[in-house]
A and B are shown apart, each in its own frame.
Chain A
Amino acid sequence: MADLQSPLGAAYTPGNHGNAAGGAGVTLQERTNVSLVQVTAWSSTIPTVLTAIGSATGVIIQNKPGNGRVAGEKSVFGFAPGRFMVTSATPDIEQRLRAAISPELGTIVVLTHGRTVIRVSGSRVEWVLAKLFAIDFSAHAFPVGAGRATLHHDIHTLIQRINEETFDLYVFRTFARSFWKTLGHAAEEVGYRVE
């Protein structure tokens, strides 16, 4: 099948931008070829669904708000009660989840086309993201693997911490270009590189 067209269009300009003379404070990148599947459990089936996600992906997370884990190209995180984002570089993830989760356990919505994943990394990542989001990015408040649902202006965003200096931002596709520009603008102060 044809590759997915990026919503960023001409706004995606690889290279160094902003005050990057002394090295880029952050690196921005659009994650492509990643399948995004949302799984939602019924209130009574959350532990069972987490087990099923574990068996389908090999990634096991705890039944705690915002808990999540990153394992290589796969990741899982919760962002609302009983609701989880499952991502994988392999598109068969949908079928594996459907096989493991019946409608009695929960529901599945494939969001690959509907959400754009932007990876932000670098030593100044917390500083840049704090310009856009009113949540605490410090490591003790937002541990590696964890997920958050929050807002920049009108743009609803899911955020997962990939490692100490890397976050994945999931934004609605139709907002992605506007958000990308805003993110680049916010990163100019520390300088940024687009991969």
Chain B
Amino acid sequence: MIIKCPYCGPRDVIEYTYQGDATRTRPDAASTDQNLWNAYIYDRTNPAKSHREFWLHSGGCRQHLIVTRDMSTHMISSVAFSRDNKNVGDQR
């Protein structure tokens, strides 16, 4: 599999580290709502279709990327820097 890093260009998957589901939302840091935290930490969907994931370009520019990938075909439809993504962070 090849992921096209927005900075480094296309690179083999071996240069990347999978960093988990990019669709979840971290609760407000001060929140004590256990259900919210529980969902954030443990609940994952496993859709057989397009999905957003974090990948760290650990063997390259060391940026976290948001990769949109079809879980059934491995086709990657978009790759973006996580930092540019407005949908991440506490309380998105």
The chain A residues found within 8 Å of chain B, CB to CB, are 43, 65-66, 79-81, 83, 134-135, 148-151, 156
Contact = CB atoms under 8 A, between A and B. Distances in A.
B63 A81 contact: yes
A179 to B, nearest CB: 14
B89 interface: no
B11 interface: yes
Interface residues of B, number: 15
16 contacts: A80-B60, A80-B61, A80-B62, A81-B63, A134-B11, A134-B14, A134-B15, A148-B8, A149-B8, A149-B59, A149-B62, A150-B8, A150-B11, A150-B60, A151-B15, A151-B60
Contacts of B62: 80, 149
Interface string B78-91: 00010100000000
Contacts of B81: 81
Contacts of A150: 8, 11, 15, 59-60
Contact of A80 (B12, B14, B15, B63): B63
A81 B60 contact: no
Contacts of A43: 83
Nearest to A154: B59
A135 B25 CA distance: 35
A68 B58 CA distance: 21
Interface in B27-76: 59-63
Given A81-B81, A148-B8, A149-B61, 19 more contacts: A65-B9, A66-B7, A66-B8, A80-B7, A80-B60, A80-B63, A81-B7, A83-B61, A134-B12, A134-B14, A149-B8, A149-B60, A149-B62, A150-B11, A150-B59, A150-B60, A151-B15, A151-B59, A156-B59
